Every structure is written in structure tokens, then in C-alpha cells.
Structure 1
Amino acid sequence: MTDWLTAVARRLGGTPEVVGRSPLAGGYVAEGVERVDLRVGDRPLSVVVKPADPVEVAAMRAVAVVEGVVAPRMLHPDPLVLTWVDGEPAAEGDPVPAEVWRTLARVHRHWFRKRARGIPVVDAAWWAALCERTLVAVRGAARRTGEAEYERAAGLVAEWATDPRIRAALTLLPRTLCHGDPHRGNLLGTALIDWGNARMAPAGLDLAVLEAQGTSDDAAYHAEAPALSGPLAAVEREWARAHVHVQYLGFAADHLGAARVVEMIETAAESLSRLGPALTECTNGPVVQP
């Protein structure tokens, strides 16, 4: 029996037998990821087995201590073995299930102003590194296509890498454990999967990712999540919108074309233009409501 099967056997109190294996794509995208179907006595059980990623392992440990979340459960860290979540990824335009909002709210509340071990922190250096990674894709698209829109986008991202408004916002805003990538492909039924992009960041990051995919009723989130008020809430909202549109800009440059890149750059620029005044208002003393 392999090491992970031995560990799963201890967790389940039985001897699992492998009855099927199949590679996975979609919400579990990664090389070497597979679904493994087991039988433990007369009970069927499916798991996801994937190469260990230290951030995802740390995230699953951090999520496991939060009550009332709907997410995979880690059965073994290396290789990473997770309980199987049955369901199809949410389609474009589908509402975000209330259970997903509640999962985010409970994770954000539990880890508010705390530090989860092994999870990267979004600070000025992290932001600069994100901009550098984004620039590789945007400049590559400029060379590949010769379209001027990519060159303009690259110039703005290079400037934003050291933008004092971003630095100031990240100094002011409280952090929590964020999923980091809660797009609809990572929503399976009511579960939020693939925590490999988790980070300690302002909670607005996760909300902005969902907002960018279309409006949805987030009342279930706000009923339980820690809330910022006054100008600090505006700082978080505008920082998050700018951040998210830069975060996904590399993907857009590789796959979505110049028009979408221009749209995303303009959205980020508009948020940054509003971020400055919101930061100025915060000098009067931001209010945080736990």
C-alpha cells in the first residue's frame, strides 16, 4: 500500500482498495492531478490526488480549523490528497451560491488580523512581483502581435509596480486568509475548491474576483464577515478592483486579446484614480468594525 493510502486508511479506519483512476482537468487544473476511486469495506469513496504545493497544503490546514465551511478536506499532504467534491463548475452568469459566500465570510472572519502559517502575504514586494509576472505575458503579447495596446498596458503596469497609492493601501488595510482565485471554475456546487492561490490579503480581493464575473447577491457574506466602514471600506474596494484586474491581465494577454486587455487596464486605472482620494480621507481615522 502506498504511503498516502496508508495514511488515508488510518483516517478512515479501514483498508481502502483502489478501484479506478482518471486524470482531472477543469477546476482541478494541474499536471499530474487525478481522481482516484476507492472502496473502503462496502463504502465507495473518491479522492483527488495532486502534487504537493506548500501553499495549498498550508491553506487546507488553515481552512480546516474554520467551522461551517464547504471545501475539500485534506487527507494527506504529500502527495496532496483531498476529498472529492462532486458537481460541475458554475457557468457564466450563474449566481454564486449562498454557501460559497458563507464559506468566504467565515474564513475571512476567523483569520481577520491573524497570520496563517505558510501563506504568502500581499504587501508592496508581493505586488511588485505580481506586476513583474504580468509584464512577461503582456510584453510577450506585444512582441507576438505588434499591437500598440499591449505596449501601453505594459507601460502602465510597470508604473503601477511601485505606485505609492498601492503601497499606502496595503499599509492601511487589515489582512485575512483569502482564497485568492474564487472564479466560477473553482465553484463546484456549493463548495469552493483549489486553494493553491491562497494569500494573506485584504478580504476585498476575493469579493473583487467574484464581482468582476458579474453581479451576485452577497448578502450571505456581509451577514457574517468582518466589515470595514467609512473611507477605509472605499480604500479596500478600489485597491481590490485594481489588484484583480492586474492579477488576471496576463491571462487576458495570452488568451483574450487586446480589446479585453484595454478594458481591464482602464478599469484598474479608474480604481487607482479613486483610490487616492479615499486614502486622503483615511487620515481622519479609519473605522474597523469586527
Structure 2
Amino acid sequence: MTAPPDAAWLPAAGRALGGAPVVRSRTPLAGGYVAASVERVDLEVAGRTVPVVLKTASPVEVAAMRAVTVVRTDAAVLAAGDGWLLVPFVDGAPPADGEPVPDAVWRTLAQVHAHWWRKRPRGIPVVDAAHWRGLCDRTLVAVRGAAARTGDPAFGEVADALAAWRDDPRMAAALALLPRTLVHGDAHRGNVLGDSLIDWGSARVAPAAVDVLTLAGEPGATAPAAYTAVFGPPPALADVERAWADVHVHVHYLGFAADHLGAARVTEMAGIAARGLGALGPALAAL
């Protein structure tokens, strides 16, 4: 997917910014793991310079950004079209190791989760039992590929576990119980720039703990006060949701780990998922 021609987005940019924009400079930006084309574009609009980001985007990301804009206009998409997004440029960097995620990011995430609680924005896939099986199938391809490529038996052991987890009734039972909301789906620290959570291309309708666990960055994590002061899921389901999220999130990232991080990390992540699955049964039984 290539960047859209200027004629596709400049008129929409002008309507959003209140003038006739002129492109003064363009700078390619790192596109992350998914985006094919991302660039900073400096526009001149009514005598002022306005930096924006123009990126190729899937229909899911376009729908997600529109849904986020309903909640937070300061995180707004400026314009969107067929396969592209125009958003404000954020001059920031991800938090350094050991540095906390800013409270403003947690509050924005909580506001999105609260607004879309038990609702489905149009165009966003739902995480259900079928989605879980598909995730396991896609992850199995990567893990088995790593086994074939490296010959390391650890990958084969993880693949066997994934094949069993694919149809585990505990995961289906949890998904039948847990309420869903709009989640970012890939809310790791690398997608935090300043006070903004960027790159909503993996957005889903899913239990909120998907984002909480990923953003906190540790198994079984709970949200900080900046999040819970705005939104918190039903306490009765908290143990189920945390255990389910430990399984789901670590399986979600296993494919990337198999491709890039090696057998030791894959084994570690699969172990966390296995412990989450072990905790899920008692949590469900306690309801």
C-alpha cells in the first residue's frame, strides 16, 4: 500500500484546518510493524505551519480512529479516506525503560473503554471464540516456521501447547462471560508518544484487560489509579479477566517473538500464558 496522492487528502486537510493548505516539507517516519507508509507533512495553512502525519491505514484503523475521536477530540483524526489517515503530529518519544506510562495516556484509554463499554463501533472486529481459534492458528504458523527454521525443539513444545489451547473450553467460557469494549489491541509502550497512544490498526472489540495488561507490561497487572478513577470493569469478573488476558496477550505476541526474539523468549511467554490458563479455571469456578 502506497501513500495516497495529495489530491486525495489535501482538500480534506483544508476543511479540517480552516484554510487552503500548501505542502512545505515531507519526512518519512518509521512505520512500525504494520503500516506501509507513514510520513510527517508540514503544511502551511493561513500563514501558520501545521505538522501532520499522513499514513496508509486499514479500514479497521480508520474506523477505530473515528471511534476514538467521538470520545476525545484532542486525539482526533483530522481527515480520513479510503486507505489513509491524517492525524496531528505528536512530538514525543516512548517512555524510557523504568519510566511510567503518563497518567494522561491511562486516562484517555479509560475514557475510550468507558464510552464504548458493551458497545461495538462499526467496522471493528470482535474478539470471540472464533477469533481466539484464528489467533492460535496464525500464531502456530509462526511458531512452527521457527521450529523448521532453527531446529530448536522448544518451538515444537510451544506449538503443541498452542494446538491444545486453541480449543480449550476455559477460553471460550471466559469470552462468553466477559463484557467487551473498544480496545487498542497493541497498547505497548512503543506506541506511546508523549501523552498520546498511537497506531490503532489492531483495534478490536474485546475485554478491556487486553490493553491494561499490555500497557502495564507485566503478567496479571492491574490498572493504575489514573485509569480506575475513570473506568473499572465489574469486580466480580476481575480475576477471570486478568487470567484470560494473560493467556490472550501472550499468545497474541508469540508470533512476533517466534520471528524476532528467539526460543528462550517464546518459551517464557508460553509459560506465562500457561499459568494464566491454569488460573482461569479456578476463577471461573468461583463465580
Q: 2:69–2:76: 8 Å Cα contact kept in structure 1?
A: no
- Aligned position for 2:208: 203
- Aligned position for 1:287: none
Residues 1:280 and 2:285 aligned together = yes
Residue type at the aligned position of 1:226:
G
**Closer/same/farther in 2, CA of residues 217 and 52 from structure 1, 3 Å limit:** closer
Match of 1:77 among 81, 101, 106: 81
Which residues of 2 match residues 225-244 of structure 1 at below 5 A? 225-230=231-236, 232-244=237-249
- What do the CA deviations read for 1:94-119 (whole angstroms, capped 9, x no partner)? 20100011011101110111111100
Aligned residues: 280
**Identical amino acids, percent of aligned pairs:** 60
Match of 2:274 among 258, 269, 275: 269
Which residues of 2 match residues 129-148 of structure 1 at below 5 A? 129-148=134-153
**Closer/same/farther in 2, CA of residues 253 and 96 from structure 1, 3 Å limit:** same
The TM-score normalised by the length of structure 2 is: 0.93
Residue type at the aligned position of 1:209:
T
CA apart distance, 1:26: 5.7
Residues 1:172 and 2:177 aligned together = yes
Residues 1:90 and 2:95 aligned together = yes
Residue type at the aligned position of 1:212:
G
d(CA) in 2 for partners of 1:74, 1:264: 38
SS where residue 128 of structure 1 aligns? helix
Q: 1:238–1:271: 8 Å Cα contact kept in structure 2?
A: yes
Q: Mark the runs of 5 or more structure 2 residues left unpaired by the alignment.
A: 1-5
d(CA) in 2 for partners of 1:44, 1:145: 51
- Aligned position for 1:22: 27
SS where residue 119 of structure 2 aligns? coil
- What do the CA deviations read for 1:160-181 (whole angstroms, capped 9, x no partner)? 1111000000000000000111
d(CA) in 2 for partners of 1:242, 1:139: 19
Match of 2:64 among 59, 64, 68: 59
Q: 2:16–2:78: 8 Å Cα contact kept in structure 1?
A: no
Q: Mark the runs of 5 or more structure 1 residues left unpaired by the alignment.
A: 283-290
The TM-score normalised by the length of structure 1 is: 0.92
**Closer/same/farther in 2, CA of residues 28 and 85 from structure 1, 3 Å limit:** farther
- Aligned position for 2:226: 220
CA apart distance, 1:86: 1.4
d(CA) in 2 for partners of 1:52, 1:145: 34
SS where residue 65 of structure 1 aligns? helix
CA apart distance, 1:41: 2.0
Structure showing greater relative contact order (alpha-carbon pairs closer than 8 Å, 6 or more residues apart): 1
- Aligned position for 1:7: 12
CA apart distance, 1:76: 2.4
Residue type at the aligned position of 2:285:
T
Q: RMSD over aligned Cα, in angstroms?
A: 1.8
d(CA) in 1 for partners of 2:127, 2:222: 26
Q: 2:129–2:171: 8 Å Cα contact kept in structure 1?
A: yes
**Closer/same/farther in 2, CA of residues 188 and 65 from structure 1, 3 Å limit:** same
**Closer/same/farther in 2, CA of residues 246 and 65 from structure 1, 3 Å limit:** same
Q: 2:57–2:201: 8 Å Cα contact kept in structure 1?
A: no
**Closer/same/farther in 2, CA of residues 179 and 200 from structure 1, 3 Å limit:** same
d(CA) in 2 for partners of 1:226, 1:217: 9
